[in-house]
């Protein structure tokens, strides 16, 4: 596979920290100054932690390519995945110690690929499945009907046309094959957010600027949460993330369509209610953010957001400056 290797930039001068009002006792106290990732361009990105590295995927400048980048704690490497032809924002998840990607192709078809962190192996089209907007992917460790341990990937997507795009569909991958897609109750104006927290799967949807969050209880099914972040408004996907202690929602607070710069907000669910949402420092974004918890750290996160198709990276962890260095993909 032909790789385009671009050393984005060293993370120099990132020790300057900004502050934001804490969200109760579980707040996000510090964020590093955002770094523009030179050489990358996208409307929106997805992200996941895999084998000690932060991995992201996104479309090209016109959304008609698949790009993959990774950060090892010191620097970024990026690669256009030339053997995958996709559109929109690919979804990422880790399953069976392998990085999985679900992405859109032409005519709203859905495709699957896998990686050990560098090169990607196409796994083909998902039979009978299509989506107008980009899909979502999450690891789920149980049989959803019986509640017994049974690891799988859970894929969510919309309908395959403009008329059916608000529909919610899902299917499972058991390591060898995908199940048939099933239509579920509910609607969404775009890509859904997914997060496994305390053995429950949480899903966020947006519709007419409103934010809705439901939870899936194994062997019991879907049910609405009793509360959602008070006053939350968004027309772009809501990112849900767990640090192992609490559930968080990060979103672009907006009543406008994607493309306009709007502030980013965050709220924490401590087990009984969502705390009042507060701005994530002074960050503004043209689309929804991608957020990944720092492994083993409470209330610490890596965050990526886009502004006019430029990609910015920030973190609550202190990022150490390094000298520029080119790496070769393995």
What does the alpha-carbon distance between residue 286 and residue 288 come to, in Å, rounded to a whole number?
7
The pTM score is 0.88
What does the alpha-carbon distance between residue 163 and residue 144 come to, in Å, rounded to a whole number?
29
Q: Which two tokens stand for residue 295?
A: 């492994």
The upper half-sphere exposure of residue 73, i.e. CA atoms within 13 Å in the direction of its Cβ, equals 8
The upper half-sphere exposure of residue 115, i.e. CA atoms within 13 Å in the direction of its Cβ, equals 27
Residues 102-107: what's their mean pLDDT? 95
Q: What pLDDT was estimated at residue 126?
A: 96
Q: Which residue has the higher pLDDT, 330 or 6?
A: 6
List pLDDT tens digits, range 22-50.
Answer: 333 344 558 999 999 988 899 999 999 99
Residue 324 lies in a domain: no
List pLDDT tens digits, range 137-189.
Answer: 999 999 999 999 999 999 999 999 999 999 999 999 999 999 999 999 889 99
CATH code of residue 90:
2.120.10.10
List pLDDT tens digits, range 274-302.
Answer: 999 999 999 999 999 999 999 999 999 99
Averaged confidence pLDDT in the chain: 86
pLDDT grade, residue 259 (50/70/90)?
Answer: very high
Residue 326 lies in a domain: no
How many domains, the chain?
A: 1
What does the alpha-carbon distance between residue 291 and residue 183 come to, in Å, rounded to a whole number?
28
Q: Answer yes or no: is pLDDT of 1 > 60.
A: no
Pinpoint the alpha helices (H) of 204-296.
none
Residues 199-211: what's their mean pLDDT? 92
Residue 44 lies in a domain: yes
Residue 47 lies in a domain: yes
Residue 320 lies in a domain: no
Residue 92 lies in a domain: yes
Residue 322 lies in a domain: no
pLDDT grade, residue 63 (50/70/90)?
Answer: low
Q: Which burial class, exposed, middle or buried, applies to 204 when counting CB atoms under 10 A from its CB (0-12, 13-18, 19+)?
A: buried
Domain that holds residue 173: 6-315
Contact 67, 58 (CB under 8 A): yes
Contact 134, 191 (CB under 8 A): yes
Residue with tokens 């990944």: 292
Residue 117 lies in a domain: yes
pLDDT grade, residue 318 (50/70/90)?
Answer: low
Q: Which residue has the higher pLDDT, 64 or 97?
A: 97
- Torsion sign over Cα 171, 46, 58, 251: positive
Q: What pLDDT was estimated at residue 272?
A: 86
Q: What pLDDT was estimated at residue 265?
A: 95
């Amino acid at each position: 596979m032909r790789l385009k290797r671009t050393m984005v930039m060293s993370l120099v001068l990132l020790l300057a920290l900004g502050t934001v009002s804490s969200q109760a006792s579980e707040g996000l106290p510090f964020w590093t100054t955002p770094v523009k990732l030179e050489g990358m361009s996208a409307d929106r990105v997805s992200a996941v932690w895999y084998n000690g590295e932060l991995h992201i995927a996104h479309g090209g400048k016109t959304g008609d390519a698949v790009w993959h980048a990774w950060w090892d704690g010191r620097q970024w490497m990026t690669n256009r995945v030339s053997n995958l032809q996709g559109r929109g924002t690919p979804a990422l998840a880790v399953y069976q110690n392998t990085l999985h990607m679900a992405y859109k192709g032409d005519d709203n078809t859905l495709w699957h690929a896998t990686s050990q962190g560098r090169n990607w192996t196409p796994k083909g089209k998902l039979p009978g499945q299509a989506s107008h907007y980009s899909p979502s992917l999450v690891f789920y460790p149980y049989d959803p009907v019986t509640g017994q341990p049974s690891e799988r990937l859970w894929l969510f997507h919309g309908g395959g046309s403009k008329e059916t795009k608000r529909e919610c569909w899902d299917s499972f991958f058991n390591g060898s094959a995908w199940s048939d897609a099933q239509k579920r109750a509910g609607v969404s104006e775009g890509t859904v957010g997914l997060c496994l927290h305390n053995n429950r799967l949480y899903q966020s949807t947006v519709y007419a600027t409103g934010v809705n969050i439901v939870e899936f209880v194994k062997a019991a099914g879907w049910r609405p949460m009793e509360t959602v972040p008070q006053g939350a408004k968004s027309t772009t996907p809501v990112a849900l993330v767990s640090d192992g202690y609490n559930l968080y929602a990060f979103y672009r607070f907006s009543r406008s369509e994607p493309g306009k710069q709007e502030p980013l907000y965050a709220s924490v669910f401590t087990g009984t209610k969502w705390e009042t949402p507060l701005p994530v420092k002074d960050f503004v974004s043209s689309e929804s953010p991608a957020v990944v918890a720092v492994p083993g750290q409470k209330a610490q996160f890596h965050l990526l957001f886009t502004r006019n198709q430029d990609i910015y990276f920030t973190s609550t962890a202190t990022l150490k400056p390094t000298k520029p260095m080119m790496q070769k993909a393995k």
